[in-house]
Amino acid sequence: MPSNIEIKARVDDVTTLHKLAAELSQSQGTQLVQEDTFFCVPRGRLKLRHLKDCPSELISYDRPDRQGPKESVFNIAKVQNPEEIKVTLAHALGIRGIVRKQRTLYLVGQTRIHVDNVEKLGHYMELEVMMQPDQSAEDGEQIANELMKKLGIKSCDLMDTAYIDMLEPASQNTSH
């Protein structure tokens, strides 16, 4: 299965982060509007991603909930009829919650830099180092750590959970 090395961090100065990411990527980034519907599953996470003006995707992924660079193993399927899939999965599994965000995507080498404005949560950033078959997790962690430094991301800003976890009340945040 494909994998990424990922980090997520809080962002205090989103303007500076956009400027640094634009310089590194030599672009103004791509604007995306995303709505992720998460379903109740016994292991990992399963979400149906609706992208404005783009095909929807069903994404399953599993990664440890810890700060710093971590490996995420995932599968992505393009979805032709997302509303039917959403109703079917909601009936079978139940809906865990919905995350809505405006994302700016920057590409730097093999890494996606996401600068997110998450509804009800605020500004965050993610790095996703898209691993090549011949690379080790350590290679990806090194790339992530180097980009964190270039973007001014401090270890105290790192997050260990997904947006969906942050949106849930603490009493429900124990199984995922």
Per the domain annotation, does 175 fall within a domain?
Answer: no
**Distances in Å between the alpha carbon of 63 and those of 8, 20, 44, 116, 176?**
12, 27, 7, 20, 11
- Beta carbons of 93 and 29 less than 8 angstroms apart: no
pLDDT of 45 reads 94
Per the domain annotation, does 47 fall within a domain?
Answer: yes
Cβ within 8 Å of residue 51, ≥6 positions away: 32, 33, 34, 57
pLDDT of 170 reads 54
DSSP letter at 109 equals T
Per the domain annotation, does 174 fall within a domain?
Answer: no
% of the chain exceeding 90 in pLDDT: 81
Tokens of 2: 């494909």
Centroid of chain to Cα 60: 12
More confident residue, 171 or 52: 52
Tokens of 127: 């790095």
pLDDT of 69 reads 82
In which domain, by residue range, is 51 found?
3-168
pLDDT of 54 reads 85
Tokens of 148: 């964190």
* For residue 176, pLDDT beyond 70: no
Per the domain annotation, does 176 fall within a domain?
Answer: no
Per the domain annotation, does 138 fall within a domain?
Answer: yes
* For residue 174, pLDDT beyond 50: no
Where is average pLDDT lowest: 18-32, 36-50, 67-81, 159-173? 159-173
Tokens of 143: 């790339």
pLDDT grade, residue 169 (50/70/90)? Answer: confident
User: Residue 111: enclosing H or E segment and its boundaries?
Assistant: strand 111-118
Per the domain annotation, does 173 fall within a domain?
Answer: no
pLDDT of 175 reads 44
Using one digit for the tens of pLDDT, what is the confidence trace for 125-147? Answer: 999 999 999 999 899 999 999 99
SS3 content of the chain, % helix, strand, coil (to 5): 30, 40, 30
pTM summary value: 0.87
More confident residue, 171 or 51: 51
pLDDT of 107 reads 98
Per the domain annotation, does 84 fall within a domain?
Answer: yes
Using one digit for the tens of pLDDT, what is the confidence trace for 97-111? Answer: 999 999 999 999 999
Residue 51's CATH number: 2.40.320.10
Give me the number of domains the chain comprises.
1
